[in-house]
Amino acid sequence: MGRRGKQLVLGALGVAVLLALIAIPYRDPMSGDAPIAREDTVIFDLDRSIKNPRNFNWLTPGVKRLHGAHQAMWEPLFVLNYANGELEPWLGLSIESNASHDVWTLVLRQGVEWSDGEAFDADDVEFTARMLMDSDAISAREAIRFKAQVDDVEKIDSHTIQFRLKQPNPGFHIENFGVLNFSSFLVMPEHIWRGQTVGSFDFFPPIGTGPYTFSSATSQRAIWDRDDNWWGARAGFLELPAPKRLVWIETGGQENRAQLLRSNQLDAGQHLALGIFEAIQARNPNVVSWHDGFPYSWTDPCPRQLEINATVEPWDNPAMRKAIAHIVDRQQIIDIVYEGSTVPSKTMFVQYGAMQPFIDAVVDAGYELPTRANLEAAHAIIEDNGYSMGDDGTYVKDGVPLTTRILANTASAETTGTVDLLVEQLQRAGIDARSVPVEDGVFWGEVIPLGDYEMSYSWLSCGSVNEPWASMVRYTNNSMAPIGERAPGYNNTGRWDTDATDRYTAVVNRIGQLSLGDPQIPGLVAEAYRELDAETPFIPLVQAAKVLSFNETHWTGWPRANDFYVHPMHWWNSTHLIIHQLEKADGGP
């Protein structure tokens, strides 16, 4: 009997081991895809997971575009090329306005086809435009911006569409159709979308006009295969791109990203801390960045800043916000978080050459942001407002300590690093600050648009790259939503709405009426900036340096400082320009 017991035990153990082995999940994304050699595949970095791999309705929130959809499948109408400042035609051929900038005429390229063979024409553009204008269910920033500006759309002929704006806007074409920032107006196929409910349609499987078609996606990766029947090659627009397959994988953190780059399993990587990049390059010289040497980095068009909720005590008091601005030490953020690879923000704007006149105007008016902290000034303001320093080094007023909570999006180490440092700076200045990690989806889906925060770290004055209006308009009270309702387009999420805001809005709206390059603009920028300086609705921190990595083991032709044909953000809609430039590396392993 004892022997039988033993056998029973051994049997049970054996079964358990077998079960454990069988249970290892082998549900596979790649299965069903024909094998394509690594040499023919380009692997891009995705810095977040794809929560809805079977949903391609980009008008609703979620990762619906940057996993390849708008880099490989959906093509833009135009691309504002940061390299030369020109608006390069893509699906569009030309776009022009009338003299008063309130009627714009778009002409489409001939011969464009959807990947299912249907023709791409003015009907698709008109349909998409009307869908955006008529729907309340959309939340993508590009869609909301378009909806806010356009009054009516009219098809002139099969390749010409006219847009009538609610207000004159000299920058309409760049803002909406030019991939100004991350993405733009993406045209959807009318023959598939017609009759669908905009808010709930999943658009699966998706189609586009691009040279790659959707193959498969899981929460960790999306695969796109080349469509050798692409319209562009047939129409003589461009040759087929060289890679047969594009893959976006969720790398999950800098360490994995670095490891994949080092072992040539990743061709285009997102941001790495400078020290990590240097360590990788020391081991794998094929891994390169924007510059060949220090500081390696590319300046992202979205400068970093601290957002403050102007409706929450005590930060509803402009003086207290100013105190925070005095406490912030920009140089320390650069030294520590960016390891010296970027520069402090002088104003709210990105420090590109084209922005220089406006930055100069603000600086000349005396509103330049300091590099270093001014703690005396901060202490003086806080004490003026009735606080006194407690025994534990924290300010107290009526027995209540001065506290704040800064929300940090957990998606990137840069964010959490900066917030940790801001917390440290505020703590040392006597404010009991805490960092609160918030998941990416919740951060952008809820707390930011609803204004459900005290302070948060983000890049919400992003927008301008060659003119000042796109950034400045985001802090006007043109379309204020109360706390708890969604701020349209993530604009003025801190709900800054005072008399100063009215004055600011009036000036910014005037800027919006002027043509690009109008000599009045710098002066008006300085005038509007006076209100920002006085009330500090947000605190610009530093220029965002991105150490993007490209691996030249398998593919060359990446955009770099010495080969600056387009800006290098490979998660943007402008990536279409990059994929056509890639070439197989000779003698790769």
Partner 1 sequence: MSGGTTKAIPVEYLFNRLLTFFLTVFIAASIIWLIPRLSPIDPAEAMLGRMAAGAGFVENADQILADLRTQFGLDEPLWKQYLAYLKSLAVFDFGVSVANFPTPVAQMLAAALPWTIGLMIVSVVIAFIIGNAAGAFMAWQETPKTWKVVIPAAMIFTSIPPILSGLLLMWLFSAQLGWFPLTGSYGLFVTPGWNWEFIYSVIEHGALPALSIVVVTFGFWALGMRGLMTTVQSEDYVQLAKAKGLRPRYILYRYMIRNAILPQVTAFALKIGLLVTGQILVERIFSYNGMGKLIYDAILNQDFAVIQGASYVVILMTAASVLLVDLLYPFIDPRIRHGGGR
Partner 2 sequence: MTATANTAMSKAEEREARRRAKRLKRFDSPWMNPKLLWGAGILIGILLFGFFGRLLWDPELVFIGSAPLNLPPLGFENLRGDGGSTAHPLGTQSSGRDILALLIVGAPNTLFIGVIASLIGMAIGIVLGFSAGFIGGRTDDVIRVIADVMITIPPLMVLIVFQTSIGEIGIVMMGVLLSGFMWQSPTRLIRAQVLSMRESGYVRMARLSGASTFDIMFKEMLPNLVPYLFGSFIAIATTAIVTAVGLETLGLGPQRVPTLGRVIYEAIDSAALLRNMWWWWGIPTALLATMFIGLLLVNLGLDEVANPKLRKV
Task: Give residues in contact with partner 1 (CB under 8 A).
Answer: 1-2, 5-6, 8-9, 16-17, 20-21, 23-28, 30-31, 38, 49, 51-52, 55, 57, 60-62, 137, 139, 199-200, 202, 219, 221, 249, 252-253, 255-256, 259-260, 263, 265, 410, 437-439, 441-442, 445-446, 450
Token pair of 426 as six digits: 């505020």
> Taking the complex as a whole, how short is the minimal distance between the CB of residue 4 and partner 1, in angstroms?
8
Q: Which is nearer to partner 2, 118 or 420 (CB)?
A: 420
> Taking the complex as a whole, how short is the minimal distance between the CB of residue 27 and partner 1, in angstroms?
7
> Taking the complex as a whole, how short is the minimal distance between the CB of residue 282 and partner 2, in angstroms?
6
Residue selected from 11, 14, 199, 275 as contacting partner 2 according to rule CB under 8 A: 275
Question: Which partner from the list partner 1, partner 2, none does 393 bind, CB cut-off 5 to 8 Å by kind?
Answer: none
Question: Which partner from the list partner 2, partner 1, none does 17 bind, CB cut-off 5 to 8 Å by kind?
Answer: partner 1
> Taking the complex as a whole, how short is the minimal distance between the CB of residue 165 and partner 2, in angstroms?
48
The angle subtended at Cα 375 by Cα 372 and Cα 377, nearest 5°, is 105
Which amino acid type is present at position 302?
A: C
Q: Is 19 exposed, middle or buried (0-12, 13-18, 19+ CB in 10 A)?
A: exposed
Say if CB 249 and CB 46 are below 8 A apart.
yes
Question: Is residue 332 involved in binding partner 2 (CB under 8 A)?
Answer: yes
Q: How far is it, in rounded angstroms, from Cα 289 to Cα 483? A: 42
Question: Which partner from the list partner 1, partner 2, none does 343 bind, CB cut-off 5 to 8 Å by kind?
Answer: none
Say if CB 307 and CB 422 are below 8 A apart.
no
| Packed helices 318-327 and 375-384: angle between N→C axes, nearest 10 degrees | 160
Residue selected from 66, 276, 577, 579 as contacting partner 2 according to rule CB under 8 A: 276
Query: 235-274 mask for partner 2 (x: CB under 8 A)?
Result: -------------------xx--xx--x----------x-
Q: Which is nearer to partner 2, 115 or 341 (CB)?
A: 341
Question: Is residue 439 involved in binding partner 2 (CB under 8 A)?
Answer: no
Q: Which is nearer to partner 1, 24 or 99 (CB)?
A: 24
Which amino acid type is present at position 43?
A: I
Question: Cβ neighbours of residue 406 under 8 Å, at least 6 residues apart?
Answer: 306, 419, 422, 423, 433, 434, 435, 436, 454, 455, 456, 457
Helix, coil or strand: residue 19: helix
Q: Which is nearer to partner 1, 55 or 209 (CB)?
A: 55
Question: Which partner from the list partner 2, partner 1, none does 40 bind, CB cut-off 5 to 8 Å by kind?
Answer: none
Q: Which is nearer to partner 1, 121 or 250 (CB)?
A: 250
Q: Cα(first)–Cα(last) distance of the chain, in Å?
A: 62
Q: Which is nearer to partner 1, 92 or 494 (CB)?
A: 494
> Taking the complex as a whole, how short is the minimal distance between the CB of residue 291 and partner 2, in angstroms?
16
Question: Which partner from the list partner 2, partner 1, none does 581 bind, CB cut-off 5 to 8 Å by kind?
Answer: none
Instruction: Count CA atoms within 13 Å of residue 311 on its CB side.
Output: 15
Say if CB 208 and CB 232 are below 8 A apart.
no
Question: Which partner from the list partner 1, partner 2, none does 282 bind, CB cut-off 5 to 8 Å by kind?
Answer: partner 2
Q: How far is it, in rounded angstroms, from Cα 463 to Cα 451? A: 20
DSSP code per residue over 123-184: HHHHHHHHHHHH-SS---HHHHHHHHHEEEEEEEETTEEEEEESS--TTHHHHHHS--BSB-
Q: How many binding residues for partner 2 (CB under 8 A)?
A: 25
> Taking the complex as a whole, how short is the minimal distance between the CB of residue 132 and partner 1, in angstroms?
16
Q: Which is nearer to partner 1, 2 or 399 (CB)?
A: 2
Beta strands in 190-342 (DSSP E): 212-217, 221-226, 245-250, 268-269, 287-288, 298-300, 305-308
Residue selected from 335, 384, 502, 583 as contacting partner 2 according to rule CB under 8 A: 335
Which amino acid type is present at position 134?
A: D
CB atoms closer than 10 angstroms to residue 98: 12
CA distances from 269 to 30, 111, 152, 284, 316 (A): 21, 34, 41, 14, 40
> Taking the complex as a whole, how short is the minimal distance between the CB of residue 547 and partner 2, in angstroms?
13
> Taking the complex as a whole, how short is the minimal distance between the CB of residue 183 and partner 1, in angstroms?
16
Residue selected from 235, 282, 400, 506 as contacting partner 2 according to rule CB under 8 A: 282
Q: Which is nearer to partner 2, 143 or 406 (CB)?
A: 406
Radius of gyration of the chain (CA): 26
> Taking the complex as a whole, how short is the minimal distance between the CB of residue 511 and partner 1, in angstroms?
34
Q: Which of residues 377-436 bind partner 2 (CB under 8 A)?
A: 413, 417, 420-421, 424, 427-428, 434
> Taking the complex as a whole, how short is the minimal distance between the CB of residue 336 and partner 2, in angstroms?
5
The pairing of beta strand 287-288 with beta strand 549-551? antiparallel
* Length of the chain (residues): 589
> Taking the complex as a whole, how short is the minimal distance between the CB of residue 404 and partner 1, in angstroms?
17
Question: Is residue 280 involved in binding partner 2 (CB under 8 A)?
Answer: yes
Helix, coil or strand: residue 454: coil
Site residues (CB under 8 A) for partner 2? 254-255, 258-259, 262, 273, 275-276, 278-280, 282, 332, 335-337, 339, 413, 417, 420-421, 424, 427-428, 434
